[in-house]
Copies of this chain bind each other. A is one copy, B any other.
Amino acid sequence: MRDDTHISLAHGNGGRLMRELIAEVFARHLANPDLDVTADAVPLEMDSRRLMFTTDGFTVKPLEFPGGDIGALAVHGTCNDLAVAGATPRFLSLNAFIEEGLEIRRLDRFIASMAEAARELGVRIVTGDTKVVPRGEGSGLYLATSGLGVCTHERTLSIGSVKAGDAVLVSGPVGDHGTAVLLAREQFGLTGTLKSDVASVLPLTQALLRVKGLKFMRDPTRGGLASVAHEVARVARVTVRLRAEAVPVRNEVRSVCEMLGYDPYYLACEGRVVAFVTREDAAEALASWRRLADGREAAIVGHVESPGEPRVILETPLGGERFLEELEDDPLPRIC
């Protein structure tokens, strides 16, 4: 007898069970005027020819963690990539790779969570595909989302425009998402009350787009603040100098890092922005963030210098300094 409460391979075969799963889980939660689950492709009404396109995959483990789940992450992760590029997210596609045996009630929760995140953002999930993979593969659920956004301004942001003298800002404490996922795994016998920072960064990026001296924004996900700084150093051929005392890090994140030997600068955030702004406009940028609920703990955390060679330097509280090297081994896999 077929078990109707859990995913079976037949849910992926193009037949009745797949059709019903799509109708009862995906279409029910994600319903919107542009979603047509019987169409091969959907027409889009875009109000601009300045389109932006991006994509992201999600393999977070566990699938649920304090503050969010893989569904919310898959909406915000891709929409945040559009936001930091200066766009307003409009449409998403969704791919689900579902493991045979996943409880359908859990899948339903993740898709409901996607729908809620999309509604808050005013984004429509308009096309999707599901595949079922055999038990033992797929770790429950992988998601991929591709996003289309529109630019309603004339700004050109680019990593290559960052120059010596520019200020480095972060919009809030770093490492919350990485640490919350780590605690949710319970593999180190640690528990805590920390929540992931997974959220839309659109209010933050929209505020900064009004600051003339804005050069470049990025959300510090995989590899964290340090990896964003490295990418800028490498592409713009500059040195990025960060001040440890200026970088906001919650006490709980700091404690976990000290216990496990992690460095918070490399831990993933899913609702923060790192911005590079001219020295002249840094104070204005900071003020525009601090006026927002998600930017109250924003800080200027460093500045850009001309390099001997491109690198990232951390000034430590006691007046020393050390290099933040490019990430080699993974401190924390499967975090997003």
Contacts and interface: CB of A to CB of B under 8 A. Distances in A.
Interface in A186-221: 218-219, 221
Contacts of A218: 40
Given A85-B39, A151-B43, A227 B15 contact: yes
Contact of A56 (B129, B227, B327, B334): B129
Nearest to A34: B53
Contacts of A71: none
Interface in A277-336: 326-331, 333-334
A239 to B, nearest CB: 18
A72 interface: no
A57 B333 contact: no
A63 interface: no
A219 B14 CA distance: 13
Majority secondary structure, A binding face: mixed
Copies of this chain assembled into the complex: 2
Contacts of A54: 40-42, 93, 127
A142 interface: yes
Given A16-B327, A17-B328, 18 more contacts: A10-B330, A13-B222, A13-B223, A13-B327, A13-B330, A13-B333, A14-B221, A15-B326, A39-B85, A41-B147, A43-B52, A43-B53, A53-B126, A53-B148, A55-B129, A57-B144, A137-B137, A146-B146
9 contacts: A13-B330, A15-B223, A39-B85, A41-B53, A41-B82, A41-B85, A56-B129, A97-B144, A127-B146
Interface of A: 9-10, 12-19, 38-46, 49-59, 81-82, 84-85, 87, 91, 93-97, 126-134, 136-139, 142, 144, 146-149, 151, 159, 218-219, 221-224, 227, 231, 235, 326-331, 333-334
Q: Which 5 A-B pairs have the closest CB atoms?
A: A15-B327, A14-B223, A14-B222, A146-B146, A41-B54
